Amino acid sequence: MRYTRIAGTGSYLPEHVVTNADIEKLVDTSNEWIIERTGIHSRHKVAPGERSSDMALIAAERAIEAAGIDRHSLQLILVATSTPDMILPNCACLVQERLGVAGMPAFDLVAACAGFIYGLSVADQFIRSGMYDNVLLIGTEALTSITDWTDRETCVLFGDGAGAVVLQASDQPGILSTHLHADGRYKDLLRASSPLPTQADPEDPPYVRMAGREVFKFAVGALGDVVDEALAHNDLDYSDIDWLVPHQANSRIISALAKKLDLPMERVIMTIAEQGNTSAASVPLALDIAVRDGRIQRGERLLLEAIGGGFCWGSALIVY
């Protein structure tokens, strides 16, 4: 049987760190309030002129190196992002050009924070079908570029970064299943308006806007359901999961999901304290960190999940 296996991981975080103390100078908030409500202590911010493709390139090169492959053996590049450098060309084409691997298809996926999970599913279909053997998938976000630093509800949350994986065809189990959902009826709860010149609204600049309480309530339920869906599909129990690698949106959401899975927090990969919410980059960032520090080992079962604007959400069950 043909499977999709993670051959290598990579990530990148900008050098500049924005602490809660820095945010205290911008809006009426406190370090204690931010930590209690979100679990975030600091986040990374792109340098002037640094863009999503810059971060994506570094994460991609590190993943390619970890996979031990020649970059010219790649056959498809996918980039999950809601903050591309420009409207066109897409971010994947910009990364492709800088990698020096012209010719193969390259395109972006926009599913907000769930973008990387969506990308895993798309890559898995291409590989399982036999169409491609080597796929580069990147999640990259420069969310601070669409953050309103006067909005105390959102400016505490978001950070920048990129994570990447090289996915390969294998006869050994890798991605067991992916499960995707969306519900556009909730479009107004988490959104950023259009930056297009003819559609831009001066009264509604293209910053992230969020109804935090409503998003939290929906996220806990939706993520719990999609986790159960993945386990039921594979005839597995909560006890069969070795690691939860969640989207790093809010520590309370992560804790609620871990409790549902009966997983001790020691088996949950948490990066939110130092990185904040990096949207489509958060899951691959957390995955790379845990692989490189030795916590995640080959043969272990990983449960990945994420939810973002749309709403779009999903899960992936993987044997690493």
- 247 among known catalytic residues: yes
Task: In whole angstroms, give the CA distance from residue 164 to residue 12.
Answer: 9
Which residues have a Cβ under 8 Å from the Cβ of 262 and sit 6 or more positions away? 238, 239
Task: In whole angstroms, give the CA distance from residue 251 to residue 124.
Answer: 29
Active-site residue, from 113, 134, 155, 312 = 113
Q: Which two tokens stand for residue 222?
A: 């939706």
Active-site residue, from 91, 93, 134, 247 = 247
Q: Is 308 in a helix, a strand, or coil?
A: strand
> Half-sphere exposure of 114 toward its Cβ, with a 13 Å CA cutoff?
27
Question: Which residues sit opposite 13 in a β-bridge?
Answer: none
Q: What are the DSSP calls for 111-145, one per residue?
A: -GGGHHHHHHHHHHHHHHTTS-SEEEEEEEEEGGG
**Angle value at C-alpha 71, between 248 and 94, nearest 5 degrees:** 65
Question: Which residues sit opposite 169 in a β-bridge?
Answer: 4
Active-site residue, from 20, 134, 250, 277 = 277
- 113 among known catalytic residues: yes
- 312 among known catalytic residues: no
Residue 8 main-chain phi, psi, to 5 deg: -165, 150
What are the strands, taking DSSP E only, across the chain? 3-12, 16-19, 42-45, 76-80, 106-109, 134-142, 160-170, 175-182, 190-192, 208-210, 243-246, 301-308, 312-319
**Closest by CA position to 143, among listed 22, 249, 11, 32:** 249
**Looking at the annotation, which residues are catalytic?**
113, 247, 277
